[in-house]
Structure formats: C-alpha cells, structure tokens
Amino acid sequence: MSSRLLIQRRFAPLFWTQALGAFNDNLVRMVLLLLVWSVASQQDREYGWIPSLAAVVFLLPFLLLSSWGGMLGDRLDKQRLIRRLKLLELVIIGMASVAVWFESIVMLFVVLLLLGVQSALFEPVKYAILPQHLVPTELVNGNAWIGAGFFVAILAGTLLAESLMTLPEPWARLTVILALVGTASLGLMASFAVPPAPPRARIRVTWHPWRSTWEVLRQGVREKHLFPAMLGIAAFWFFGTCYLTLLPAWARNIVGGASSFSLLLTAFVLGVGGGALLCARFSAGRLELGLVPLGALLIGAASLYLASLAPLPGGMHELAILMGSGGFWQMLVGFALVGVGGGLYSVPLYTLIQVISREEQRARLISAANIINALLVAMALAYGIAMLVWLESGLRMFVASLGAMALIIGAGLLLRRPRPVLRLMIFALVHVIYRLRFHGRQHIPVRGAALVVCNHVSFMDALVLGGASPRPLRFLMDQPIYESPWLNWWFRIVGAIPVNSDRRDPGNVRRALNEVSHALRQGEVVMLFPEGRLTPDGEIQGFRRGLDMILARDPVPVVPAGLAGLWGSWTSHYGGRALTKLPRRFRARVALSFGEPLSAREARSALLETRVRKLKAEAEAWVTDRGKSPLAQS
C-alpha cells in the first residue's frame, strides 16, 4: 500500500489531528486509573470498579451527543468544526493539568467526561471529511491509516502514562502535564492545516439530545444498504472492548509478571493497526468486502487458539513455565492475530459507509454508527462482568465464547454473500500470475448503474477487469463457457450473464438483455466486450450492435477501458487456439487503463471505439516501456 498520503496536505493534517487526540484521551484515562490504584494501595482498599466507571463516563457522551456531531458535520464546514473542537480539547486539557497537579480524582472524572463529549462530536466529522479530500480508490488507504494511527495512539498514551507515573514526585505530575499540553497544542496546530470541506446542505440541528439521537438512529435504520455495515462495525467494537477488558485479568491471572500486560496490549493493538494496513494492501485501492468475513473468521480462530492456551479452572501457569515452553509467546501471537482480524474486518465496513452514503447526510449516518457502537461497547462491558464475575466462567470460557461468536458472524457472512470472497481470492491469484498495473479506476462511478466496455484479448480478461474494478461487476459471457461443468458454480456465484446467438438458442439474446437491464436498473455495474469474441490477431475488432441494444433500453454512462499484456498468453489466440497451448510466461506485465465515462449517446457512436483504442495504446506503452504511459505514475 502507498504511504504517500501521510505527506499530503489533504490527508496528513487530519491523520495527526485525530491520532494526537486519541493519544491524549488515553493518557488522561490511564493517569486517572493509576492515581486511583495508588490511592487504593495506600489506603488498603479495593477499587476494582473504577476502570468500568471510567469507561462508562467516557462512553456516555457517545450515546447522547454523537447525533450533534453528525448534524453539525453535515451543516458546517468540517474544517472549521475540527478547529473549534481542537480548541475545546486544549481548554479541557488545561483543566486536566490542574487535576493532575492536585491529584484530584473527581476532577479527572469530569475531564474524562468532557473529553468524551469532544470525541463524540469529533468522530463523525473525522470519517465524513475523508471522501471530500480523497478519491474513491484512496478511501481504503485513508481509513487504514486512520485506524492504524488511532490504535497506535491508544497504545502510546497508555504506555507513556505508565512510564511517567513511575517517576519521582513532582516530576511525574510535571511531565504528564507537559505531555498533555504539548500534545493538545500539536493537535490544534495540525487542525489548522486541514483543507476546507464545505457542507452540501443546510440542515436543521435538533438540540434535544434524546430527540436528535432518535432522529439520527431512525435515519440510519432506513438506509437498508448501510445499516448492516453499521451493525458490523458495532460488532468490531464489541470484540475490541471485550479484549481490552480481559487483558489486565489475563496478564494478572494467567501469565503473571508486571510487564506482561504491556506486552499483551502491544501485541493486540499493533495487530489491529497492522491488520488495517494489510487490508489496504490486499484491497489495492478497491473496496474489498470479501475481507470482512475473512477477518471475522481470523478473530474466531485466534480466539479459540487463545482459549486453548488458558489453563482450566483451578490450574496454575507460572510465568517461568510459560516462558520456557513458549506459551507466553504463543499468547502474544494469538492476541496479535485477533487484532489483525479486527483490522481486516473493520476497514472495509467504514469505507462502505463513506462510499455509499450521500454527502449531505454522511456525517449523520456515521454518528448513527457511533451511537450503535456505544451501545455495543456498553453491552461488551456488561457481558464481561457477567461472564467473569457473576457466572465465574473464567477467562478460558470467556475467550472461547468470543471466538464462537466471531466464527458464527464470519460463516454467516460467507454463506450469505460468497461473491466478494471469491472475487478477492481470484484477484489474488491473478496478482500472483501477472504483474498488474491499473490507471483511472476512479472513473467507474461510485454509485449507480454503468457499463464497462473493454477490448477482448484472452479468457483472463474478465478476471482482470473484475478484480481491478472498485465495484463488483456483472459480466456478459458466452453460454458454452458459462455452462462449463468445472466453472459453472463460480460463474453463477459471481452473477455472470450468459449469452448465445439466436440461431443456437432462440430467445437467448432477449433473455440476456432482460437480465442486463434488470442489473442496471438495480444500480449495478455490467461489463461486456463489444467485439463479441477474442481478437484473432491482437488488434481491436469491430464493435457489434449488442451495446447499442443495451443502451437503447437503459441509457447509462459507459466507461471505456483498454487492456494490454495478455496477447501472447496461453489463454489468447496467439500461436493457435486459446487454452490449447502450454503456458510459456509467468509474471508478465498486464496493464489496464480506464477512461472518463461517456454518455449513452456518445457511446453509441464511433467515439467509444476510438477511446478504447487510445486506452489500449496507453496500456501497451506501459507493457513495452514503463516511461511512456500514464500508468507509470499510477
């Protein structure tokens, strides 16, 4: 994946603004907990309920005020709103500094509540602003870096608080104050570099918290294509909260040793960040929903693996035995894999909400997701207490139950929608076979119906185009190939549309056109090869009238594409009929260039064929000489 976004003004200031804010939130929360534990040890009292209370205090504003953040994000310029919220954070951090200096636990709880208010207002804006500054093919990368930065900031804030609070007084308090104020100041400075993001609509803000929350939630439920994604993100926060809740008990009761909690937390948090970056790497600029069930299955498998490492009730694991047998390192790997699964699972869901939602209501829909997240976080806290305190089931059963839930979610998603996973696997295979380069994928509309037309070189063309497209493609194909006994199951799953000549099957063309028309009217993207057959000589053949028949029924935008690099492969007609020769090339260069969409009227003229030829020439330039094509910079 590309890290160029981290040095570009349209993304880098937002990245550092949100990361520094998350750092300060967790620094304050950890300092509060360490002060409480210090008082408890001095007074020989038990304050085990304080961490749960701190979590509830920080969580409460997300339930009540996230709707305000969404409404304000859709009403105001997001740049100005971010700056004002960072100014508010600096004021709150000033209060936190006073609380730390006087070691006032009550005042720190007030500060934590105010930071929760600021975060609840900031979160919807953070995700809603990304699509205004990034093109669709950059959104997965942007969300991956945001997620990785957020979780690394959580880790850094927690570990720094532990380190600073071990210093002798008054240096401990002084260094904590300097860290808080310095971080808030840097975050404010970064926010002033965020580019403008003006609103698309002037909406009315409902200031009654319960009424506004209900209004935003109702709006989210009405979005049938987005609500499942909101529930999926909430499940991610449920699992994340459960693991962050059980980590201290796991470190204390199973591993032992003062440093084990920090190591386990590091493994888990870096796993989440690494999983987010892996998601961007695997997605290659596309929205890969196939990673969602795979991430859930990885969470489930890693959780069951961790459960197998935990001792049965009544058993004892000494740290020395664990270290000697490799058990502790296996636990680190297990927690890291749970985190990786979470990163793979969550990033596509956040991107889906950004891509599908309309700009004038995007912040409100993200705030609805945050409200549901807060509800699931509260449920996770209650579930942890029920499992570990009331039912006394033990950590082994608790982790195993989380694994079972994740496996059920992953298997359910896989069975319900296998097409994205198959698409991902096929595209990964094509990436292994060829060196691929794409250009202009942003020209495929983010939403709504469209046709993609391309020159036809080999039997691999559909796989390359299907994997390159940011959106799933329905593609037309010859019926004899569609009915292949080895591949028919896959063609049916991916929604291929078979077509044959009326001479072989009277009425087949009409049925195929009806299926294409139905797909377009459902807002899908359909791909076809207007030549109607593989090229016999590597050159583009004349376009047939099937495209005109489709556009006469449904005048949708047409995206031209040019493909190069597959002529000469064993799946082309080069040197004899396709698929009758042995493969002679491996890791050959393959280039695919998309052009700007044409209207239905333009596409029904000779202009479309001219555009496809030009795009094919651009792709061939990269295949033959990397420096002569725009694909060299893509």
* Ordered DSSP codes for 495-560: T-EEE--TTTSTTHHHHHHHHHHHHHHTT-EEEE-TT-S--SSSSPPPP-THHHHHHHH----EEE
- Give the burial string for 95-129 (b: 16+ CB within 10 Å, else e): ebbebbeeeeeebbbebbbbbbbbbbbbbbbbbbb
Share of the chain above pLDDT 70, in %: 92
Tell me: pLDDT of 321 over 50. no
The Cα–Cα gap between 223 and 358 comes to: 11
Which residues on adjacent β-strands are paired with residue 499? Answer: 478
Tell me: pLDDT of 256 over 80. no
For residue 37, give the nearest of 27, 23, 55, 51 by alpha carbon. Answer: 51
Which CATH code of 3.30.70.260, 3.30.460.10, 1.20.1250.20, 3.30.420.40 fits the domain covering 11-417? Answer: 1.20.1250.20
Tens of pLDDT, residue by residue over 156-178, are 998 999 888 888 888 888 999 99
State the average pLDDT over residues 143-148: 94
Neighbours of 491 (CB within 10 A): 18
Domain regions of the chain by residue span: 11-417, 424-633
Retrieve residue 423's tokens: 């698409």
For residue 250, give the nearest of 395, 52, 49, 404 by alpha carbon. Answer: 395
State the average pLDDT over residues 11-36: 90
Tell me, rounded to whole angstroms, the distance of Cα 367 from its chain centroid. Answer: 17
Tell me: pLDDT of 324 over 50. no
Retrieve residue 537's tokens: 């000589």
Tell me: pLDDT of 482 over 90. no
Tell me: pLDDT of 323 over 60. no
- Cβ within 8 Å of residue 41, ≥6 positions away: none
Average pLDDT of the chain? 87
The Cα–Cα gap between 303 and 399 comes to: 6
Tens of pLDDT, residue by residue over 435-446, are 989 899 889 988
Q: What is the pLDDT of residue 442?
A: 85
What letter represents residue 483's amino acid? E
Retrieve residue 418's tokens: 């296998």
Share of the chain above pLDDT 90, in %: 52
- 458: which DSSP letter? B
Pairing of strands 473-478, 497-499: parallel
The Cα–Cα gap between 385 and 381 comes to: 6
Measured CA to CA in angstroms, residue 488 lies from 463, 494, 580 at distances of: 15, 10, 20
Tens of pLDDT, residue by residue over 350-383, are 999 998 898 889 999 999 999 999 999 999 988 9
Helix (H, G, I), strand (E, B), or coil: what is residue 113?
Answer: helix
Q: What is the pLDDT of residue 393?
A: 64
Tell me: pLDDT of 502 over 80. no
The Cα–Cα gap between 215 and 220 comes to: 9
Topology of the domain covering 424-633: Glycerol-3-phosphate (1)-acyltransferase (3.40.1130)
The Cα–Cα gap between 450 and 513 comes to: 15
Q: What angle do CA 18, 21, 22 make, to 5 degrees?
A: 85
pTM value is: 0.86
Tens of pLDDT, residue by residue over 26-81, are 998 888 888 877 765 555 555 556 777 888 888 899 998 999 999 999 999 999 99
**386 or 47, greater pLDDT:** 386
Tell me: pLDDT of 315 over 50. no
Q: What are phi and psi of 557, to 5 degrees?
A: -60, 150
Retrieve residue 370's tokens: 């945050």
Tens of pLDDT, residue by residue over 394-418, are 788 899 999 999 999 999 999 998 8
The Cα–Cα gap between 76 and 205 comes to: 11
State the average pLDDT over residues 525-540: 92
State the average pLDDT over residues 578-596: 89
The Cα–Cα gap between 361 and 588 comes to: 45
Neighbours of 269 (CB within 10 A): 27
Which residues on adjacent β-strands are paired with residue 438? Answer: 592
Helix (H, G, I), strand (E, B), or coil: what is residue 283?
Answer: helix
**Cβ(446)–Cβ(136) below 8 Å:** yes
The Cα–Cα gap between 405 and 191 comes to: 39
The Cα–Cα gap between 142 and 603 comes to: 34
What letter represents residue 56's amino acid? V
Q: What are phi and psi of 418, to 5 degrees?
A: -75, -15
Tell me, rounded to whole angstroms, the distance of Cα 521 from its chain centroid. Answer: 28
Q: What is the pLDDT of residue 505?
A: 67
The Cα–Cα gap between 223 and 212 comes to: 17
Which residues on adjacent β-strands are paired with residue 590? Answer: 436
The residue behind tokens 């794409």 is 438
Q: What is the pLDDT of residue 325?
A: 47
Tens of pLDDT, residue by residue over 187-209, are 999 999 999 999 877 788 888 88
**Cβ(593)–Cβ(440) below 8 Å:** yes
Q: What is the pLDDT of residue 494?
A: 80
Q: What is the pLDDT of residue 210?
A: 85
Measured CA to CA in angstroms, residue 532 lies from 160, 343, 477 at distances of: 64, 42, 9
* Ordered DSSP codes for 83-98: HHHHHHHHHHHHHHHH
Q: Which of 75-89, 374-388, 498-512 has the lowest mean pLDDT?
A: 498-512
